[in-house]
Each structure stands twice: as structure tokens, then as C-alpha cells.
């Protein structure tokens, strides 16, 4: 996923990660005000990394934010926005997204074969909050892990700058499959990395229990249908191991 982070944070302890999960609140941005705050946080993060040019609005968004298959999430601690991530769910029904446009020669055959792909981008965290909560990057990227499970994705992508590739290789075992290419709105080129969920999910979940989630948690976050607030079936608490990604 393309990210505005300047540096990769070290792996925090499991105890601290568990404590942090109890404090954070994942919220999909649905109102103009919620999205605007995320665009501000993005701008600050990407400017710190000199990944975008300055602009008068001090916001960073693009046309991909408006797509039906786009999900924008904010990560909050005590009602303060401390992180954000978006992802697109690519399939035969939804063929538009950043990675598909930049890497069509690679992503399009996946889609044509009937696969569902989760394409996370715009991963950012607050500079101040990341110092106070060293695990913030991990709980933010956890949303992409849960999305890959919920949407039954075969692959999750990471479109990242060269300096961030080591994180996705180390944590998720992602493979780099392209040389850097120009990426819309960014000053620096981006590589495409892929994670095959059938290959990596068990290993990652075992090493990093943080990325585990329940069916109910995923449904409450990602089910946009009117029926999502009703519980006609029992929650499936046996599916504790997600299809990992990000």
C-alpha cells in the first residue's frame, strides 16, 4: 500500500499491542467532515516524507476516494484521529482502482481470472500519536488484514516506495514483482508487492496474533447493507484467523 510514513516503526511488544487495541476505534469515514479530516492527516504525513507537492488546501485526496468500491477508515483514540487507511476491493464487478490503473499488466489478469483483490493505499499515522503509541502503524494496517478476510481476497497488494518494502517483506512475506513505476499524484515511484493469502495467512497470524479478528468484528466494519445492524445468524467465533494482507 502506498504510505506517507517516513520510517518503519519497530515491532512493539504483544502486551503493548493488546493494550493499544483496547484504546482504538475504527470508523469508516462517511461524512464530508470525516473525510476532510483524513485528507488533512494524509497531507501532513505525505509532506513529511516529501512524497507530494505542497498545495493551498493542505489536503491530499484524489478521484479514487469517490469510487463505490473505496473504503476510507480513520483510526481514533479518545475521539482523536491518529491514523487512516483506504482500500479498494477489485473484482470483475469493480474494475477501477489505483493498482489496476498503474500495474494493469499484472493486476488485470488476476481480476479476469475471477479473483478478488484488496488494494490498500494512503496508510498514514499521526507523527505525535506514533511516538506515544509505537504500535499504531500495526493496528492501522490491521484493517487491510481484516478486509482481505471479509472479502475473501486471494491477493492483497502493497504499492510502496522502495524504503518501505522491507516492512511488508518482513511482517507479511510479500513479494516484489515490479520495478518502480510512476504513481498518480506522488513524486516518488512505487513498486508493486503482492501477498498470496493462501500462502501467508497462517504464518503471519501465528507470529503476529494482533492480526487475528472475529467474523463479527469484520462484519460490523465492512458490511454496508441495511441488514448489517441485525444479527439473524450466530457470530462465527471459530474463524479467528484472518486471511492476512496488507
Cα separation, 142 vs 244, in Å, equals 9
C-alpha cell at 233: 445468524
Its pTM stands at: 0.85
Q: Using an 8 Å Cβ cutoff, are 226 and 184 in contact?
A: no
Residue % of the chain over a pLDDT of 70: 85
In CATH, what class is 14-223?
alpha beta
**Per-residue cell: 143:** 484493517
For residue range 19-71, list pLDDT tens digits in order: 888 999 999 999 999 999 999 999 999 999 899 999 999 999 999 999 999 99
Find the range with the poorest average confidence among 9-18, 35-44, 208-217.
9-18
The secondary structure of residue 130, as a DSSP letter, is H
| Comparison of pLDDT for 186 and 234, the residue scoring more | 186
**Per-residue pLDDT reduced to its tens digit, 117-133:** 999 999 999 999 999 99
User: Residue 18: its pLDDT value, please?
Assistant: 79
Q: How far is CA 16 from the centre of its chain?
A: 21
Report the distance separating Cα 212 and Cα 242, nearest Å.
6
Contact, 233 vs 227, CB < 8 A? Answer: no
For the chain, the structural domain boundaries read 14-223
d(Cα 185, Cα 47) in Å, to the nearest integer? 12
Amino acid at each position: 500500500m502506498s504510505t506517507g510514513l517516513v520510517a518503519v516503526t519497530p515491532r512493539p511488544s504483544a502486551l503493548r499491542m493488546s493494550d493499544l487495541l483496547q484504546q482504538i476505534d475504527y470508523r469508516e469515514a462517511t461524512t464530508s467532515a470525516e473525510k476532510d479530516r483524513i485528507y488533512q492527516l494524509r497531507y501532513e504525513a505525505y509532506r513529511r516524507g516529501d512524497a507530494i507537492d505542497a498545495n493551498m488546501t493542505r489536503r491530499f485526496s484524489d478521484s479514487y476516494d469517490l469510487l463505490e468500491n473505496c473504503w476510507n477508515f480513520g483510526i481514533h483514540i479518545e475521539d482523536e484521529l491518529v491514523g487512516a487507511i483506504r482500500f479498494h476491493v477489485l473484482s470483475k464487478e469493480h474494475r477501477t482502482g489505483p493498482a489496476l490503473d498503474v500495474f494493469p499488466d499484472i493486476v488485470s489478469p488476476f481480476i479476469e481470472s475471477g479473483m478478488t483483490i484488496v488494494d490498500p493505499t494512503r496508510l498514514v499515522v499521526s507523527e505525535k500519536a506514533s511516538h506515544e503509541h509505537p504500535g499504531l502503524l500495526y493496528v492501522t494496517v490491521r484493517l487491510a488484514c481484516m478486509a482481505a478476510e471479509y472479502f475473501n481476497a486471494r491477493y492483497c497488494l502493497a504499492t510502496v516506495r522502495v524504503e518501505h518494502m522491507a516492512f511488508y517483506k518482513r511482517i507479511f512475506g510479500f513479494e516484489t514483482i515490479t520495478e518502480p513505476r510512476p504513481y498518480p499524484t506522488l513524486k516518488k515511484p512505487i513498486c508493486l508487492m503482492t501477498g498470496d493469502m493462501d500462502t501467508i495467512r497462517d504464518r503471519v497470524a501465528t507470529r503476529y496474533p494482533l492480526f487475528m479478528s472475529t467474523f463479527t468484528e469484520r462484519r460490523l466494519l465492512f458490511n454496508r447493507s441495511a441488514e448489517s445492524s441485525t444479527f439473524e445468524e450466530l457470530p462465527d467465533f471459530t474463524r479467528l484467523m484472518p486471511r492476512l494482507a496488507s
